[in-house]
Structure 1
C-alpha cells in the first residue's frame, strides 16, 4: 500500500490562477484526494468514477477547468480529456469555454493551453498532428449522442475509420492510456447505453458534474455543495416564491404579475448600473411553457398591443425544439446574446430546452405556467435564475433575488413548504485526509449539516433562517406583499437621489490609467514589490572586514632528522590593502546595468525605474560606508544581486502586464445617491447616510460600505499633509488583476504634499479575516505592481503607493493618518 499523492503547491497555484471560489477549490481537492485514495492507497484498477454535486450557479465549469489544469500539470501529466455533453446547448457552451478569444473562454487562465477537438475539426490534418503530439493537452468535446452508437447519424462520424488516425475517433480515444472523461450534467446519463460506452472507452477516471445527482449514484459523490450553502455564502441569488392570495389563475394575470415584478427589477438595475458606472444589466423573465402550442399562445399575447399597451412587442424570444433550422440558429444566437446590454430581449419563452447548461445571469423572474412548486424546484428550472449578474451581492434586495411565480396559490405554497426543504436544504460533503495509527494517510468523507432551516415569514411553526448575517433569507410570499415590497425598494433607490460634483476650488485629482494587456510577459522587475531581501543583501555586505588583507602564516616544525610538520595560522598583525576608490554613482550605475542585463528581465523602458529602486534599497542598507563597500565588493554585490533578482522573479505571481504608456484623466465624475445627506462626518456609522463637512474630500459628501472605511476616511481627512482625497467608486481607478480582465477598484485615493513633493496613495480596507485570502493578496500584488509600473514610467510626476489596511490597523490608528501609513502593508 502506497501513500496519498497530492501536489498541494500545484493545487494552490491552480486555485489562484483560476480564482476558484472556495467550494470549487474544495471540489477539485476532493476529486484529487479520492482519486489518489483509489489508485495509490487501495491500488485498484481503472476506471475510478466519482461525482461532484454542486449547486447550479456556483461554477461547475471552473471545477472542470481546475481539474484539467491540475491533472495536466501533475507528475505524470494527463494529456487527454473528453468532455461529454447531454446535448448541443451544453456542448456549444463548453466549446466556447475552451475557445481562445471567445468572451466565455477560460483558456487565458490555463497554463496547459489545451487544444480543442470537436466534431468540426477532429478529422483535419492539423488536429491529427496535435492529437499525436504527447506534449500537447487535448480537450475533446462531444455530445453523448455522437459517441453512443455508430448506427445513428450523430455517432457514425466518430466511429468511421479515419486514415490519419488509423482507427475511428471512438477507437482512438479508447486506446489512449491516460483518458479522463468528464460527464457534464451527469444525471442525464442513466441508461445502459451510456454505461456501455464509458466501459468501452476504458478511461482512467470518470468525473460526473451535476446539481441533481440520481439517487442510484449517491455512493459515487465525493463532493457536495448544496443550494442552501450557496445561498448562505451569497454565491447565488436568493429565491423568492410568489403566489396569489386570490383565486386568479389565468395566464393573462400570471404574465401580468411577472412583467410587473420585472419592471421593478429593471428600474432598480438601471439606476444601480448608472450610479456605479458599470455596463447596463437588463433583467429578463423566463417563462416555462408545457407545449409548443402553449408557448406560441403566450408569445402572441405578450406581443399584442392589448397586453401592457404593447410594451413587450419585439422583446420576446421563443425557444423550442420544433423551430425550423434557420430560425432555430437565429434564435439560439439571440439567446446567447441576451446578456448583452444592447439585446432587446426581455422575455424568454421556453419549452423544455433550457433546463441545463444555460448560463445567462440576468434572469430575474421565472414564471412556470403549469408546473407545481416541486417541479419548479427539482427539475433545474430554479437554477436558470440563480446566477449573480454583478458577480456579487449588491446590497439591494431586488437585485439579489430571483422571483419564482409558481402555479399554486399562496396557501398551497405554505402547505407545501416541506418541498422547499427537500429541494434546497441538504448536507455538504467533501473529502478530507485522516491519519491512521500507523502513520499512513487515508481519505475519508466529511459531512457538514446545513446550519439553518428555511422558514416562512409570519409562520410561527418554523424558525427563521438562523446563521447570522451570512445567511440570506429565502421565503414564500404572497403577490400583493411582494409587489408592495418591490415598489417600495424601487422608490427608495429612485426617490431623492442627490447629485454631487467636485467641490469648487478644491485641488483636482489626476488619475493615471494604465492599459493592461492580455499577453503574459515572462517577467518584470515591477512585479517585485518586497524590497526587504535587497535591503538584507546591502546590510550583509556592509558588515565586512573592509580593506583588511587576509594573511596566513605558514610554519614548520622539525619532528626528526627526516620529517617536519607544516602548520598554517592567521597572521598576528592587521594590514590594510590598497583601495581602488570607485565613485558611488559609478558603482550604482554598474549595479543597475547588471540587473537590467539579467536573463529574466525584459528589455523594456519600465524596467529601468524598477531596477533603480532595487539597487537603491541595497545601497541604502549599506549606510555611510556604501562607497567604500562597493569599491571593495562591487563584483560580489553584482553577482548576489542578480541571483536575488532571479529568485524573486521566479516566485512572484504576475496577474497582468501593462503597456508602456499612461493616460491621465481628471477625477470629476458626478456622484449621485439616494442616501440621506447629513451635515457632519462625526459620530456613528450608518450605511444609508451620505456624510458632509469634510475638509479635504474632493466631493462635499461621501458614503461608505463599512464602518472601517468610514473610520479610515476620518483619519485621512485629518491628515496634516493630505491636500485632497476621494472615496473611489467603480471604474474610477480600475486595476486589472487577472488575465481574464477582472478589475479591482481600491477604496480611496489620497494626495499628499510635503516639501514640494507630491505623494499619491491608493488605499484599501479589509476585514481581518479577509487579509490573508488569496484574492486580497493577489489584488495587493497587482496594485503594487501597478504603482511600480507607473512610477517607472513617470518618475517626475510624483510617486504612487498602495496601502492595504485591516480593521485592526484602522482601529489602532485612532484617527491618525500617519499611523495608518505605518500600520498598513
Structure 2
C-alpha cells in the first residue's frame, strides 16, 4: 500500500477520519488488485478484480458496471468534495494518473464542483498539495471543452480534470440525439468523447451517484471504458416502486448517525409547541402557527449565534430559516404572507426569497444572487422558501431552522429536510447546543418523527462504518493513570502502570526494602512543603544542599511511623539511614523532574474594576412574542430543550426583567453597576418597542426571553470590562517548583503500547494509541494528539533532553478567548543544556487562528516571568516555541527550532 502518500495527503488536506479511511481503502483496493488500473481489460479480468476485492471488502458484491467501480457512502456534511481532491491527488502521486472525468447530477453541483476545483477559491480542494502549487490541474468543463480542445497538447498542468453535468447528456440521449460531447470536433479531428475514451489512464468520479445511477447518460458514459469508477453519495441506494435498492459496490459506509456521534454535523432536533394538538385546528392554521414558531426559533438562534461570536471572538454567523412548500403556487402564497403586514407586522418584508422554477429572466438572476449570498451577514435574506430546487450540492453552513409544509412520511421529511442544514459553520461542534443544533418545526408530525427516529433501522440511529474489523479480544476501554518515572523509582508505582507496559525493562526501584520505600514516600510529602518556601528553595537544586537536607531529614523522622513489630516485640525491619534515603530521594527528584514554578500576576494597592458605558449593539435582534413555550427533542440523543422558560414574576418596570437576569452573573455587582445595567436594559427595551407596537408583546418577549437577552448583553459588557490597580501589578512566584501531575488516559483493553519510533500507519487514529520506549521522558508512557507530536518526541529523545507532555493543571495558566478564560496546556515541556522550553506544534494554516494566537501570547508571557525567576535563582531561562508542523522533521536538531521562539507582545 502506498501508505506514505496516503498519510502525506491526509496531513496536507487535513482529512477527517472517514475521509482518511476512504483514501486508505482506495489504496488497499489498488494494492490488492493492481489490474484495476490496467487500461486494456476483458470481462474476465474485470471479474478477477472483483473477486480479489470481495475478500477485502465484505460489503462488495458487484461493480454494477462494465468497469471496476467502488462506492464511498459518506454522510452529508462530512466532505465528499474534499475527498475527491484527495483521491485525485493520491492517484496522481502514487500511480501517475493524469486524467479524470467528474460527473455532477445537476447544475447546482456542477457549478459548485467547478468553483471548488478552481485555485484561489474559498473551498479549493487542492490547498496544501505542493505538486499542484505551481501548475494546478487544468479544469475542462461541459461548457468550454470545445474551446479547450485546441490547446490539449500544450497544457502545462500535470493533471486534467473534466467536469460535466450528467443532466445535459441525459436530455440529449433521451431525445434521440447523440450527446454534443460525441460530435466531431474540428480541433482534434474526432469527438471529445472519442479523445477521452482513448486515454490510457482515465478515472471516472461520480458525485451523488444515486441521482443518475441507472440513467441513459451514465450508460453512454460506460463507453468511455475508464480504468476505475469512484462513486460518492450520502444515500447508497436507488429508489424504486418496490422500495429502495441498495448499492452492491459500497466499500466504505459512514452514515449520518456516525457523523452525528463523531461531531462532524449538527444535531437535528424536532420542535413543537407544548401540548399542541393539530387535530383540533384547520390545516391552514397549523401552517400559520408553524411559520410563526419557526421565526421565533430563528430569532432566538440568531441571538445565541451573536452571543457565541462575541464571547469566543469568532466570525458572526447569520442564520436563516428554510420553508419547504408544496408547489410553486403554494410558495407564492407563502411569500406574500411572510412579507405581509399580518406576519409580525411586516418585519420580514424584503427578507424572504422564493426559490423555484417559476422565476425567469432578471427575477431568476436576482433569486440566484441572493441565494448564493445567503451566508453573508450583509445579505438581508432570513427566510428561503423552496420547492424541490435546493438539492444536493447546495452547501450552506448557516441553515438552522426548517419548516416543512409539504406532505411526506416522517422518514422522507426528516431525511430531505436535514440534508441541507447539517453543515457546521465553524467546521466543528462548539459545545453550545443552540449553535450545534438544526431545528425542524413539525408541530403536526412531532411524535411521528420521534417514533421513527427511535426505530432500529432509522438512519439517525443506525451506526454502520465498514472499516477494519474489530479485534474482539481487545473489546472495551479502561482508564489508566500513568505514574511518573520518579514515583516508580521511589517505589510509588502500581498495577495501573504495569498494565500498559511496553515490554521494556520495568523502571528499577532505587530502594530495596519496604521500609526504605516508606521513608522515601514521607520524603516526597515533605518536599511538597518546600514548594511554597521560595526563599529557601527557589528551585529543586536548593534541595541538594546539606543544610536543607538536614532539615528535610529532621522533618521526615518526626513524621515517620514506627516500624512494624512482631508479637514478641522484635522489629521485622532493620533500622534505616534516614539521611541517606533523603539524599538519594532528592537526587532522583532533581534528575527526574523539570522545575515548573507557580506564577501569578497580582495587583498592588487599590484595585478598581467595572464596565465602561457603551451603546448596545442590537442590530439583527428581532425576538418575537410567544403564545406558548416551544419544546424540542434531539433525534439522536433524545435530549429535550425548551426555547423559553415558563413565565416568571411580573415586573413593575420593563427594564427589571433584564436587570434581574443580569445580576445573576458573578462578575456583576448591582450596587456598583446599577446605573449601567438600567442604561443597557433601557436600550434593549427601546429596541423592542421600535418593532413591537403592542406593549404586551414587548412584555412577553422580556418575560420569556429575559435569560437569552441578558446573555447577549453580558457578552457585550465583557468587551468593555476594565481593571486597574493604583500601585500597578506584581508577578508573584508562589511556588518555586511543582510536583508532576499524573495524566489519565482512556485506552482500549489489551491495546499494546507502541514504540514511539515506529511510523504510524494511520495517523488519524493516533489519539487512540499509547506510546512508550522512552529513555528521557519523565513518564514511561505518553499519548499524542498528532503524528507531528510523536515525531517531535523522537527529536527530543535523540538529543537526550528531559521532556514530558504536561497534564491539565500542571501550569494553571489561562488565556483570554472572547469572554472565556480557558486553561492552556502546552504540547511539550523540555529541558535542554541551556534552556527550558515550552513547545506548541501547529499546522501552519492554524498559526494565526484566534485561539492559537491567544495561547501563544499567554505562553510567551508566562515564560518571560519564569525566566525572570530563573535569573534570580541562577538557573536556566524559559523560551516559548510555536513550531509549524511541517518543520518537525528528522534532519533537524533542537537548535534549529529556537528560531520559532514567540516573545510576549
TM range (shorter): 0.5 to 0.7
Aligned to 2:151: 129
User: Are 1:57 and 2:77 matched, yes or no?
Assistant: yes
Deviations 1:702-754 (A, max 9, x none): 8544xx64x889x9xxxxx99xx9xxxxxxx9987239987761533342155
Once residues 382 and 420 of structure 1 are traced to their aligned partners in structure 2, the CA distance between those partners, rounded to angstroms, is 19
Q: Is the 8 A contact 1:282 1:339 kept in 2?
A: yes
What does residue 138 of structure 1 align with? 160
How many residue pairs align between the two structures?
Answer: 550
1:305 is displaced (CA, Å) by: 2.3
- Equivalent position SS for 1:403: strand
Alignment correspondent of 1:768: none
Return the match for 2:268 from 239, 247, 250: 239
- For 1:790 and 1:143, locate their aligned partners in 2 and report how far apart those are by CA, in whole Å: 50
Task: Give the Å deviation of 1:697.
Answer: 8.0
Equivalents in 2 of 1:375, 1:132: separation in Å?
52
Equivalent in the alignment of 2:711: 493
Change (3 A) 1:144 1:800: same
Report what 1:285 is aligned to: 321
Distance in structure 2 (CA, Å) of the matches to 1:734 and 1:300: 55
Q: Secondary structure at the match of 1:10?
A: helix
The aligned residue for residue 15 of structure 2 is: 20
**CA distance 1:201–1:305, change in 2 (3 Å):** same
- For residue 634 of structure 1, what is the aligned residue in structure 2? none
Q: Contact 1:361–1:389 (CA<8 Å) still a contact in 2?
A: yes
Secondary structure of the residue that 1:187 maps to in structure 2?
Answer: helix
Cα deviation for residue 386 of structure 1 reads 0.7
Identify the residue that residue 100 of structure 1 maps to in structure 2.
119
- Structure 1 equivalent of residue 211 of structure 2: 188
Q: Cα distance, 1:18 vs. partner?
A: 0.5
| 2:203 is aligned with 1:203 | no
Is 1:338 the counterpart of 2:374? The answer is: yes
Report what 2:361 is aligned to: 325
In 2, distance between residues paired with 1:118 and 1:376?
Answer: 34
Contact 1:38 1:48 in 2 (8 A): no
Residues 81 and 125 in structure 2, CA contact (< 8 A), matched pair in contact too: no
- CA-CA distance at 1:378 after TM superposition: 5.8
Q: Do structure 1's residue 44 and structure 2's residue 49 form an aligned pair?
A: yes
Sort the Cα spacing of 1:777 and 1:474 in 2 relative to 1 into closer, same or farther, 3 A. Answer: farther
Shift of 1:377: 4.8
> Which secondary structure does the structure 1 equivalent of 2:184 belong to?
coil
The Cα of 1:345 is off from its aligned counterpart by 1.3
Q: Is the 8 A contact 1:122 1:128 kept in 2?
A: no
**Structure 2 partner of 1:8:** 3
Supply the distance in 1 between the matched residues of 2:818 and 2:138 (Cα, whole angstroms).
53
Please give the alpha-carbon distance, in whole angstroms, between the structure 2 residues aligned to 1:394 and 1:141: 35
Change (3 A) 1:697 1:137: closer
Q: Counterpart of 1:213? A: 236
C-alpha distance 759-703 of structure 1, shift in aligned 2 (>3 A):
farther
Change in Cα spacing, 1:202 to 1:281, as seen in structure 2 (3 Å) is same
Contact 2:311 2:820 in 1 (8 A): no
Contact 1:90-1:357 within 8 A present in 2 as well: yes
* SS at 2:22 equivalent: helix
Equivalent residue in structure 2 for 1:73, among 93, 107, 116: 93
Change (3 A) 1:790 1:293: farther
Cα deviation 1:313-332 (Å, max 9, x = unaligned): 11112111221033223322
Aligned positions of 1:361-760 closer than 5 A: 361-372=397-408, 374-377=410-413, 379-406=415-442, 408-418=444-454, 421-432=457-468, 473-474=637-638, 487=705, 490-491=708-709, 493-494=711-712, 496-497=714-715, 498-499=717-718, 500-501=721-722, 503-504=724-725, 703-705=820-822, 709=824, 737-738=844-845, 745=852, 747=855, 748-751=858-861, 752-753=864-865, 754=867
1:364 Cα deviation from its structure 2 partner: 0.4
TM, length-normalised to structure 1: 0.58
Preserved CA contact (<8 Å) 2:103 2:206: yes
CA contact (8 A) 1:750 1:760 kept: no
3-state SS, counterpart of residue 252 of structure 1: helix
Within the candidate set 395, 398, 408, 1:359 is matched to 395
Residue in 1 that maps onto 2:188: 165
Secondary structure in 2 matching 1:236: coil
Q: Is the 8 A contact 1:370 1:407 kept in 2?
A: no
1:501, CA displacement in angstroms? Answer: 3.3
TM-score, normalization: structure 2? 0.53
Shift in Å, 1:700: 14
Match of 2:254 in 1: 225
Map 1:254-333 → 2, pairs under 5 A: 254-333=290-369
Please say if residues 372 and 406 of structure 1, whose CA atoms lie closer than 8 Å, have aligned partners that are also in contact: no
SS in 2 for 1:287: strand
Q: Is the 8 A contact 2:75 2:259 kept in 1?
A: yes
For structure 2, list consecutive stretches of 5 or more residues without a partner in the other structure. Answer: 37-46, 51-65, 238-243, 477-632, 648-700, 732-787, 793-807, 830-834
1:118 maps to: 141
1:242–1:482 contact (8 Å) kept in structure 2: no
Give the Å deviation of 1:233. 0.7
Q: Quote the residue 1:537 is aligned against.
A: none
**1:44 positional shift:** 3.2
Unpaired segments ≥5 residues, structure 1: 1-5, 436-447, 450-463, 466-470, 510-647, 653-683, 686-693, 716-720, 726-732, 765-775, 794-798, 803-825
Q: d(CA) in 2 for partners of 1:482 and 1:132?
A: 71
* Cα distance change, pair 204–736 in 1 and its aligned pair in 2 (3 A): closer
| Closer, same or farther: CA 120–29 of 1 in aligned 2, 3 Å | same
Question: Is the 1:79–1:134 contact (alpha carbons within 8 Å) kept by the matching residues of 2?
Answer: no
Match of 1:252 in 2: 288
For residues 258-311 of structure 1, the C-alpha deviation after alignment (integer angstroms, 9 at most, x for no partner) is 010001110111121122222221011111112011111111111112211222
Is contact 2:453–2:461 with CA below 8 Å preserved after alignment? no
* Structure with the largest fraction of strand: 1
Deviation of residue 395 (structure 1)? Answer: 1.7
Please say if residues 372 and 407 of structure 1, whose CA atoms lie closer than 8 Å, have aligned partners that are also in contact: no
Query: Retained in 2: the 8 A contact 1:242–1:403?
Result: yes
How far apart in 2 are the matches of 1:276 and 1:176?
52
Equivalent position of 1:778 in the other structure: 885
Contact map agreement 2:860 2:903 (CA 8 A) in 1: no
Aligned-partner SS, 2:221: helix
Counterpart residue number, 1:814: none
The 3-state SS of whatever aligns with 2:303 is helix
Q: Cα–Cα, structure 1 residues 333 and 790, in superposed 2: closer, same or farther, change >3 Å?
A: farther
The CA deviation at 1:801 is 6.9
Output the CA distance in 2 between the equivalents of 1:348 and 1:381. 13
1:701 and 1:379 mapped to 2: Cα distance?
Answer: 36
C-alpha distance in 2, partners of 1:274/1:140?
A: 43
Deviation per CA, 1:584-627, whole angstroms, max 9, x where unpaired?
xxxxxxxxxxxxxxxxxxxxxxxxxxxxxxxxxxxxxxxxxxxx
User: Counterpart of 1:452?
Assistant: none
- 1:155, 1:486 → 2: CA distance? 64
